Structure 1
């Protein structure tokens, strides 16, 4: 289920969408790519807490979480199909807004399932396993579409999104919703009710995701324009595979160690520092061998960060009845970072080239790690 969601978003974002925009307007591809991805990310920011809150309150027999997840999948698949025939940046942007907004809402609902069913001492491990879906989706998606045209690639991705959702649709089970009536005000995010520790975690995740978004949004253009790779789409697929290898190798190990040690913050900080080191290497030595090494190290750091940080976030939740909404609020940090990053990335490339872009990403990664240090309620 999660794999299908990431296939739909990342295969399009890394290969199909930049190729489509470049074909429509090659001279303004950087700015147009930034505008389209920003619109999608804004939709994800809004969709995450809304769909999370709706899943908290839904009492349908089909499942309080499942119905919203499958509805989001259907919207994403339909929008991906529509994108395959578009030659207008405006229409592409509208379709991408639906895709990314759907993924933002789906992710919030899926994250709420973990604290519904998994005890605290196992969440690092479970989130590590769940985290495999994102890089695997990136690799699977890019490998599938790297040799395909836009008209063929989008339908292939849409079909895969639907197929991978079928097991969850057929056998997924949810924890029943509370029968208590919900005040209207509790449907909206309330930062004051979530506490200061939640705010530090939100800011830390925003910074770390901002770093990752800066580093990856123009990867295809970086390989083509800076490193001069002969086949940049294939290069993205190779780096995605190495990135995935780093995540898979490290995240499960770190998640288990974090569970057993009953500590989260130190692992988040170490993971962020590793990410920063990889990004600094990309900035200072823009060569294919460095890109290969940096992709592996960045994957290892990001995988460890995701596994532990998501487990940390679930330990900061105050209300069982608001898990979907509150984790949706936490996921707003990711979507907000993705929304802002394209604009900042475009400015960075315009004024300082790709070295400035990767150095800025490295600084944000470090900041993302150390912002969790003030958290008091989790070790």
Structure 2
């Protein structure tokens, strides 16, 4: 267990008493109310509609429009754009998690960065919408991801700051449902605005700014009046590290999330291209089929997530849900290696949605339960988010290797699916060895 802050490391206008320090960093015990929950979910929904449209669909669509007759160039464009943005997310999430932990502004620790981040994300999306070269779109996505993660790091830390343990799995499942509903909405927007990409990139950011700002005002974010210790270069570098040998449960949870995220983005980064190049659809047909498949996936996910979160809190069990869900998700991706029809694709999406719904309903609650130091939740969750962001950066660079196995003229989606599915199954097995959580 991490040691709590003491009066030797924190000061309030000079020096704090241990009682003042304990009171500020005490874990939440009061149940959060409907206004907080609705605001939190709405902010998640609109934030991810703006962010995930480019991440899941629009980058692929833009690459196909830039290189209409060259599938290799399309894949390379997606790799460069998505990879650079996700690499920025790796660093931004950890840094801003640490920054928000230490922010002493009178508006609170988390609140200012929610607004600053969403505005930065919008600037990047505007650049993406108004440019049509790979370097320019990549720079826009980098800026958008830095801004998004400046908001996302404190947004996720709110779960540790405000939500008591007995509500975490349920609210975690609701947050995940909102995120995946956002992906569904973004997919249909991408289909409806497929010929107006500038509007597709820019328009969803406007309601995201409004709703995130509303949540920032609703959030009961306390001002940090306890001065943290000075952050030097060594301390900044430590921001990117939590020792997995010292905190093995955290390390196992991190590795499991890394592997299932690598699995997911190895496929979703190329989902539209899969439908066009493997199933044999046109771009318009592929966009339509993708929208339907995401609808099926989301319906299955929402149902499974609701049930999974309720059962996890009621049974006080996390690991079994994470293991079963990860393994089933991996099996679903392995099934894609042998899928060449639209109906088969829809069936596999239903299996994957069911699995991922169970996974997301429990995993974030498990992670919060094994944090090394809840008083540094923003920093530790920022490090944990590397397990989300780094695979998003690696997947676009690794996938071309598997896609290129065999004939260079024909993308080898089977090899990619086998690699991705095995990653998810291994990630599920790792959850079994976590000791702190049942």
Query: In 1, Cα distance between the equivalents of 2:257 and 2:372?
Result: 19
1:186 positional shift = 4.9
Deviations 1:225-258 (A, max 9, x none): 1112341111221111111111110112111111
1:99 positional shift = 1.4
Does the alignment pair 1:158 with 2:217?
no
Query: In 2, Cα distance between the equivalents of 1:97 and 1:84?
Result: 13
**Pairing partner for 1:290 from 330, 341, 344:** 344
Query: In 2, Cα distance between the equivalents of 1:104 and 1:346?
Result: 26
The residue correspondences of 1:271-350 to structure 2 (distance < 5 A) are 271-350=325-404
Query: In 2, Cα distance between the equivalents of 1:34 and 1:366?
Result: 25
Which position in structure 1 is the counterpart of 2:123? 78
- RMSD (Å), alpha carbons: 1.7
Deviations 1:85-142 (A, max 9, x none): 1022111100001112223332221111011111212211110001112211111112
Return the index of the structure with the highest Cα Rg: 2
Instruction: Provide TM-score, normalisation by structure 1.
Output: 0.95
Larger relative contact order (CA 8 Å, sep ≥ 6): 1
Normalized per residue, which structure has more helix? 1
Partner SS state of residue 200, structure 1 = helix
Partner SS state of residue 191, structure 1 = coil
Partner SS state of residue 431, structure 2 = coil
Structure 2: state its 5+ residue gaps: 1-42, 407-411
State the aligned residue count: 379
Instruction: Provide TM-score, normalisation by structure 2.
Output: 0.83
**Pairing partner for 2:169 from 111, 124, 137:** 124
Deviations 1:15-65 (A, max 9, x none): 322222222234201011111111111111001111111111112222211
The residue correspondences of 1:163-242 to structure 2 (distance < 5 A) are 163-177=210-224, 179-184=226-231, 186-187=235-236, 188-192=239-243, 195-230=247-282, 231-242=285-296
1:192 positional shift = 2.5
Which position in structure 2 is the counterpart of 1:89? 134
Deviations 1:194-249 (A, max 9, x none): 61211111111000100111121101111111112341111221111111111110
Moved more, 161-170 or 69-78: 161-170
- Indicate how the Cα distance of structure 1 residues 91 and 143 shifts in structure 2: closer, same or farther if over 3 A, else same: same
Query: In 1, Cα distance between the equivalents of 2:258 and 2:372?
Result: 21
Query: In 2, Cα distance between the equivalents of 1:310 and 1:197?
Result: 14
Structure 1: state its 5+ residue gaps: none
1:176 positional shift = 3.9
Moved more, 234-243 or 322-331: 234-243
